[in-house]
Amino acid sequence: MKKLTTPFYDILGVSSAAICLVHCLIFPLLTILPLGLSHNPFIDLIFASIGLFAIFKITKKSTVLVSSLLIVSITLVMVSILSEIFFDEHNDLIYFGGIGMIAGHLLNYKLHKVNHH
């Protein structure tokens, strides 16, 4: 079985964070339309879990800067999601966390690519 590489986890993390960020930005607009849609924070939790898995794999081999950025970002995302699940309180930390995760994964991908060429 082929071993998955760090760039794969970066791509997975960027994709998950970008989809989550688009979901978080666009979904409130869709709830205005009479489509019967309602927000479910467990969908956000699924995206965050994928991101957490990618971060867990990446932080073992990344720089302190990248690891710190990813850990702080996923913490912001998780705090936001859990506050919505347990306290029905939405906060904007999820947006900053999503942007930080995208930036961290892209930075790690760039650093990994430079170090292996």
> What pTM value is reported for the model?
0.73
Residue 14 to residue 98: CA distance in whole angstroms: 9
Residue 72 phi/psi, 5° resolution? -65, -40
User: b/e string for 10-47 if b means 16 or more Cβ within 10 A?
Assistant: bebbbbbbbebbebbeeeeeeeeeeeeeeeebeebbeb
pLDDT tens-digit readout, 47-98: 788 878 888 888 888 889 989 999 999 999 899 999 999 998 888 888 898 8
Place of tokens 């930005």: 25
